[in-house]
């Protein structure tokens, strides 16, 4: 097991170095992230997570390494919901492509801090009050059922409490000022719409964290494994967004798949006192659910495209 304070110190230093390299060197200048660049960065973040997983295997053994991998896959899959919201928010605020990476970068910094606090709080609660794991499980089942039956919800950033508070406290510029969050005009400090987007993203992620963090506690109660698997999944969220931003709407059954995963991990927590679901089996179930949801979505998109092709051909013939 990875115990003591040093693994936490070294890991967080490692993350800080990665973030400094990301913003200070590779993305120092704001630019529109291409799909190719996003795919490369996605491969980098996933590779780093797998290398870390190999290190966990060497230090703590196969069971702990499997827990990390399962927790990472759970968080990675649930983070897809964040991408749906990012797409809607950037569209609502009409954020230029060149500035989106900067917003997501600082959004993820905030997300890491908030999730670190929630993970510590969750670990303390489970250690002091073991029965709360059943509450987490029941909540995840409820959330999974709700996600499975609800239709796609609209995003209304103007109703966000932080956005309303920002409008009351400080003036907001009507336009973007490059990639800046705060500007000074006519001697007055103003915030830009980019900061409003960041505020909404932070509050949205807090709501998502309430679902995803208890889900990882269903895999392991080791706070270091919960934290590191969560961090690696969040670090790769930006590049994942730029990979899927334009095609996420085609994954029709993905939300249903995520709902099944939430219900599964919730059920695992509820029955934990009677039956321990092996970590390997959990990983297999989660991977299969994701694979089925993705494959079914691809097949549906292909069939819809094939159905639309004859209609377009008939319309063209009627025009001629």
In terms of Cα–Cα distance, which of 241, 313, 319, 294 is closest to 305?
Answer: 313
Q: Give the helix/strand (H/E) hosting 169.
A: helix 161-169
For residue 48, the enclosing domain spans: 31-148+212-246+253-313
Residue with the larger pLDDT of the pair 319 and 168 = 168
Is a pLDDT exceeding 80 seen at residue 313?
A: no
| pLDDT reported for residue 52 | 94
> Is 133 within the bounds of a domain?
yes
> Is 110 within the bounds of a domain?
yes
> Is 58 within the bounds of a domain?
yes
| Residue 56 banded pLDDT, cuts 50, 70, 90 | very high
> Is 271 within the bounds of a domain?
yes
**How far is residue 222's CA from residue 226's CA, in Å, rounded to a whole number?**
6
Is a pLDDT exceeding 70 seen at residue 109?
A: yes
Number of structural domains (the chain) is 1
> Is 187 within the bounds of a domain?
no
Task: Tell me the pTM.
Answer: 0.82
> Is 169 within the bounds of a domain?
no
Average pLDDT over residues 197-210: 82
Is a pLDDT exceeding 90 seen at residue 134?
A: no
Which residues is 189 bridged to in the sheet?
A: 184
> Is 199 within the bounds of a domain?
no
Is a pLDDT exceeding 60 seen at residue 312?
A: no
| Contact criterion met (CB below 8 Å) for 308 and 268 | no
Q: Which two tokens stand for residue 43?
A: 């491969």
> Is 204 within the bounds of a domain?
no
């Amino acid at each position: 097991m990875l115990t003591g304070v040093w693994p936490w110190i070294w890991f967080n230093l490692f993350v800080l170095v990665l973030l400094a390299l990301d913003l200070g060197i590779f993305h120092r200048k704001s630019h529109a992230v291409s799909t190719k660049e996003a795919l490369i960065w996605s491969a980098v973040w996933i590779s780093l997570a797998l290398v870390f997983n190999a290190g966990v295997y060497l230090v703590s053994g196969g069971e702990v390494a499997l827990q990390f991998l399962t927790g990472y896959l759970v968080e990675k899959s649930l983070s897809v919901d964040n991408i749906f919201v990012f797409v809607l928010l950037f569209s609502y605020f009409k954020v230029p492509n060149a500035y989106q990476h900067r917003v997501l970068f600082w959004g993820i910094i905030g997300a890491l801090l908030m999730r670190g606090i929630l993970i510590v709080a969750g670990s303390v609660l489970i250690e002091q009050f073991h029965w709360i794991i059943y509450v987490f499980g029941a909540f995840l089942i409820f959330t999974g059922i709700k996600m499975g039956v609800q239709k796609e919800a609209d995003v209304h950033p103007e109703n966000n409490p932080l956005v309303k508070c920002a409008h009351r406290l400080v003036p907001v510029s009507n336009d973007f000022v490059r990639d800046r969050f705060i500007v000074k005009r006519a001697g007055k400090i103003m915030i830009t719409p980019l900061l409003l987007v960041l505020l909404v993203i932070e509050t949205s992620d807090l709501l998502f964290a309430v679902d995803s963090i208890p889900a990882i506690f269903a895999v392991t109660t080791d706070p270091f494994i919960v934290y590191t698997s969560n961090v690696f999944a969040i670090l790769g969220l930006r590049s994942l967004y730029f990979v899927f931003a334009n095609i996420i709407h085609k994954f029709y059954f993905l939300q249903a798949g995520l709902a099944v995963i939430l219900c599964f991990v919730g059920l695992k927590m509820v029955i934990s006192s009677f039956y321990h679901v092996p970590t390997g089996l959990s990983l297999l179930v989660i991977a299969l659910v994701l694979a089925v949801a993705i494959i079914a979505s691809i097949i549906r998109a292909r069939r819809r495209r094939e159905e639309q092709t004859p209609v377009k051909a008939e319309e063209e013939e009627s025009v001629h």
